[in-house]
Structure 1
C-alpha cells in the first residue's frame, strides 16, 4: 500500500455508502459472463447492507482513492478517473470486498435477533463475496490488501473457515485465491454455472 499513499481501505458506511456500494456491485455483476439472478442479486442490492451488516456477522469494505492535498496524480495510471464518487470530497471508490456468515440452514427471525446481540460469530463459517476492482486499476496488486483485510477480519470475528465460489474460467481470480491457501472443495450450494468452490481454514 505504501506505493499508493492516496489509496485506502475503509469500512462501507450505511446509509451513506449504499449508492456507491450498489454501483460497485452492479459493475461487478456486469463484468461477469453470467447472470446473478440465481443469487437473487436485485434483492441483495435493494437490502444493502443486508447480510453484510456488522450486526449480522458480516463486513463490507471499499477501496478508495483520493486526490489528497490537491495531488491530482495520486494514481500511477488513469485510476483517478476510475470507479465511482463517494459522499466524501475528492474520493473515488475503485474496488470492494465483503464477507457474510454462511449458514447450512436458514435462520429464523428470532435467531437473527439473538445474533444481533451476540459478540461471537453467528456461525463458524463465512463466505467471501464481491471482490471487485475497477478495470483501470487491475494489475497493480490492489486485490492483495482487500483479501488481507477480509481474511484478517474474519479471523478477528472468530470464524474458522471461509468459503467462496468463482467461475472456472476466471483463472486470474483463482490464482489469487489459491495464493492465500484456498483449496478446491465440493459445491456448497446450487450454482447453475461452471463454478469452482473453495475453502480456507482460518
Structure 2
C-alpha cells in the first residue's frame, strides 16, 4: 500500500480555511497568506508525515516504544492506510518573500564568514532580481503545519467491551507546529478526521491524551468526546482515555 492510496475517493476532502491576521502590519511582517488547507496525505507527502509524526512524539516528552513508534514510521501508512484509515495534513501557503528572506539571511551569513566583497555583491544582486520576479508573479510555497490520523482498533482482554458489531477506530498523531497554535488548525484537523471516520463507517472513535494537556482535553470535549476506561495498556501516568460515539446526542 502506498501513500498515494491515502486519498479518500468518495469525497474530496480539500477544505480551505481563511484565517485573518490581527492586523495588516502583522500580515506584512509575517509575509504569509492567511489561510490553510486540510487534505489527505499522498505518497509525495511521506517526508512531511514522518517529520510531523516525529515532532509530535518529541513534544510529548515520553517514550513511545510501547506503541512501536519506530516501526510505525518505517512502515507508513501501515494501519492508517485506506480503506480503513487515513492521514490528513494541514498546509499553509507561505509567500515567496519569506523564503527569499531566509535564503538572503543565510547567504549573508556565508558571505560575511568568507568576507568576499564580490560574493556579497552577487548575493545582493540575485536577491534584488528574485524579489522583483516575485513581486510580479506572487509565487506561493506550501508548508505542512499539522497532522492527524485515524486507524481501526479492536479490543483484547482485559479491555474487551463486547459489541462485536460495533466498528471502532482511534484518532492518532494530532499535532500542529508551535508557530501555528491558536489559529484553529488543531480544531479543524479534529473536525475533518471526525468526518473521515464517519464516512469510513465507524461507530465509535477512541483516543488517549495526557491530563496535563488541558487545552486539548477541552477541545475534545467540545467535539463530543467523553472520558472512558482504558482500552489498552499505556504505562505512562496521567493518561486520559476518551471516546466519541457517532450519532450520540
Task: Give the TM-score category using the shorter length.
Answer: 0.7 to 0.9
Q: How does the TM-score come out when normalised to structure 1? A: 0.78
Aligned to 2:86: 59
SS at match of 1:6: strand
Give the paired residue count: 168
Contact 1:29 1:36 (C-alpha < 8 Å) held by counterparts: yes
Of 162-171 and 5-14, more deviation after overlay is shown by 5-14
Residue 35 (structure 2) pairs with residue 19 (structure 1): no
Aligned mate of 1:166, from 206, 209, 218:
209
User: Which segments of structure 1 move beyond 4 Å, counting only runs of 4 or more?
Assistant: 70-73
5+ residue gaps, structure 1, are 74-88, 106-121
1:71 CA drift (Å): 7.5
Give, in whole Å, the separation in 2 of the partners of 1:7 and 1:45.
25
37 and 145 in structure 1: CA distance in 2 versus 1, 3 angstrom threshold: same
Aligned to 1:199: 243
Aligned to 1:141: 184
Aligned to 2:147: 96
Aligned mate of 1:125, from 162, 165, 168:
168
**Alignment RMSD, CA only?**
2.0
1:72 CA drift (Å): 5.3
Give, in whole Å, the separation in 1 of the partners of 2:35 and 2:214.
29
Q: How does the TM-score come out when normalised to structure 2? A: 0.64
Contact 1:168 1:196 (C-alpha < 8 Å) held by counterparts: yes
Aligned to 1:175: 218
1:123 CA drift (Å): 6.6
1:198 CA drift (Å): 0.3
Residue 37 (structure 2) pairs with residue 8 (structure 1): yes
Give, in whole Å, the separation in 1 of the partners of 2:60 and 2:48.
19
Give, in whole Å, the separation in 2 of the partners of 1:99 and 1:132.
13
5+ residue gaps, structure 2, are 1-16, 21-33, 100-139, 157-164
Contact 2:56 2:175 (C-alpha < 8 Å) held by counterparts: yes
Give, in whole Å, the separation in 2 of the partners of 1:23 and 1:2.
25
